Structure 1
Amino acid sequence: MKAISYPTYGSEDVMEYGERPDPTVGPDSVLVKVRAAAVNPVDRKAREGHLDGAIEAVFPVIPGWDVSGVVVQPGVAVDEFAVGDEVIGYVREDFLSRGTFAEYVAAPVRTLARKPLSLSFEEAAGLPLAGLTAYQVLHRTLKVRSGDTVLIHAAAGGVGSLAVQIARHTGCRVIGSASARNHDHLRSLGAEPVEYGEGLADRLRELAPQGIDAAFDTVGGDALRVSAETLVPDGRLASIVDSEVFSYGGRYAFVRPDATDLAHLAELAEQGVVTVHVDRVFPLEQAAEAHRLNAEGRTRGKIVVTVDWDH
């Protein structure tokens, strides 16, 4: 099969497009014919070796954890999915090796849900990792509830934009930090935008003089510090990027595959509660360029790579 892989840790330059062996389908997995796979910031961290010591890499590594596609072969123990089913998945295992930037991926059923019919394959590929991160942090870590004032950083990004929609659906007031060019977009999602950068704490106190009930940090550094400073006395703080969150009494969160949570997200997408904005689409062979663009951190929504099955 055609795939993107890298033989060692490094920059985007170590990524190679070429032939890789077809994946073996285990008893509890299905073989998915990949239609699209989304790029996430964690893909760069993994490729550069920043997850070394936490997740073993078995080289060469095919990157990618997000996927949308079609089941072509169920494992012998699988009765949840059949040939022809359209699925989405956050296909993370406990090691790096057989990712989703390929024509086929062997996906454990615990990582999959049925694809929302209302989403294109490109949009659907952007839902699993970012959506699960948003959903699990908001509901499991921060335990937001209707009436809370919730601060979401980088609210126009892949995780942030989905977190805004999920929090609004829960009945929260949402304040989202973003650059000025994304403020109208955030308003369309139901958030109150605030410019990030110097003076953020003052702007937040003006918007929420009583304080923030829950803050969702996706940036780290000063954004994390400001979040802690503007919380109500019993406010909740979570970060997905900066372990300094512990020093502020908050929690660090790392998303996990969960078929039930993913099915719930798919249902929210089917109902039109959450939408996925796809910023750019690249063919599989240009995945390195997709990684470069993602590393700039200025994307609105998701960057997606697609597999051309018409060749």
Structure 2
Amino acid sequence: MQEQSDPLPASTSRAVRLDAFGGPEVLAVRDVPTPQAGAGQIRVRVAASGLNPMDWIMTADAETATRFGLRLPAGFGTDYAGAVDQVGAGVAGFALGDRVFGGALSRAVADHVVVDVPGHIATGVAHHTPDGVDDRTAATLAIAGSTAAAAIAVLDLGPDDTVLIGGAGGGVGVFAVQLARLAGARVIGTGSATSSGFLTGIGAEPVAYGEGLADRVRALAPGGVTAALDLHGTETVHTARTLGVPDGRICAIATQVDGVRPANGANAAPGALEEIARLVAAGRLRVPIAATFPIEQIRAAVELQVGRHVRGKVVVNL
């Protein structure tokens, strides 16, 4: 295939950049040279970028950034959605105007992102956006959706299961709760006292986290809990062990615990993310968007995300 592009592309475009690692205060919107798709690549005109905790965690300090292969000056954000506006030589399966979503590690909050075909999270990856899924929703799927799918696969849930999900109202939690329910499991989800209505709305039975969690879960599920997923810290792991859940049916994504199986989006089964997008398009999986911000308010968007009390997803519009 010959290279294709929209006519007269702008020579510069906007992107969030960091000249130093740190908190939201180091983020700035800059005019940068518009990237060009090379052979085996496509360029996407980004319409929206979904934020994840990993975005600010891996750019918070130089040591963590180095582990992810990031160097200054760096970009920001990983999830994106938009439309293909340039196709490099040798690319099959994508054409100008195709709506796509995916991930591009720490460079997705930008007007344009170039990704490999086929690709992976480090070089960028694109999936076709199904009809019926808008760009803001599609921009939330890549990291949280694939992570939730990988974790639920580890637990191998079914109709006979009662699963305790810690951090159920967060970005990964909203996917994990609904995927567990689609598998037929009963879901008990931890959250703050003020999140109970939200958790009920996505299919979980709410329980307050903190001291006494095991007793509160016993009261909700006197027949016992058969599986657990910890999406934030280790409280849910330790509670599940107290309740007699075997380590083989406990999964954690945020920390490593000896004997407990970890999960991350890179280990999601082939096709898992496409299946999540199809579930969203069919109305069987809902993605609550907690807040949206224009790119010029990137610092405020990240400050909200850093607070770790967001119910659902935070999206940046471009």
Q: State the TM-score, normalized to the length of structure 1.
A: 0.90
Q: 1:264 aligns with which of 275, 278, 292?
A: 275
The answer on whether the counterparts of 1:67 and 1:100 sit within 8 Å (CA) in structure 2 is yes
Q: Within 1, Cα distance between the matches of 2:116 and 2:272?
A: 15
Q: 1:108 aligns with which of 103, 112, 116?
A: 116
In the alignment, what sits opposite 1:27?
A: 39
Q: 1:133 aligns with which of 126, 144, 147?
A: 147
Following superposition, the deviation at residue 235 of structure 1 comes to 4.9
Q: Within 2, Cα distance between the matches of 1:231 and 1:24?
A: 55
Q: 2:308 aligns with which of 282, 292, 297?
A: 297
Q: Within 2, Cα distance between the matches of 1:190 and 1:30?
A: 38
Q: State the TM-score, normalized to the length of structure 2.
A: 0.88
In the alignment, what sits opposite 1:253?
A: 263
The reply to whether residue 12 of structure 1 matches residue 20 of structure 2 is no
Q: Within 1, Cα distance between the matches of 2:140 and 2:243?
A: 31
Q: Which runs of 5+ in 2 are unaligned?
A: 1-12, 120-124
The reply to whether residue 214 of structure 1 matches residue 227 of structure 2 is yes
1:102 is aligned with what amino acid?
A
In the alignment, what sits opposite 1:123?
A: 137
Q: 1:77 aligns with which of 82, 90, 107?
A: 90
Q: 2:290 aligns with which of 262, 279, 300?
A: 279
Q: Within 2, Cα distance between the matches of 1:52 and 1:100?
A: 16
Following superposition, the deviation at residue 115 of structure 1 comes to 1.5
CA RMSD for the aligned pairs? 1.8
1:291 is aligned with what amino acid?
V
Q: Which runs of 5+ in 1 are unaligned?
A: none
2:185 is aligned with what amino acid?
C
In the alignment, what sits opposite 2:168?
A: 155
- Deviations along 1:248-292, whole A, 9 cap, x unmatched? x20222221866222111111111111111111111121111111
Following superposition, the deviation at residue 153 of structure 1 comes to 1.1
Following superposition, the deviation at residue 53 of structure 1 comes to 4.4
Aligned length: 298
Q: Within 2, Cα distance between the matches of 1:158 and 1:54?
A: 23
Following superposition, the deviation at residue 295 of structure 1 comes to 0.5
- Deviations along 1:9-66, whole A, 9 cap, x unmatched? 1111111111122224243321000000011100111111363442111321111110
- Indicate the percent of aligned positions where both proteins have the same amino acid: 37
2:306 is aligned with what amino acid?
A
| Superposition misfits of 4+ residues, deviation over 4 angstroms | none
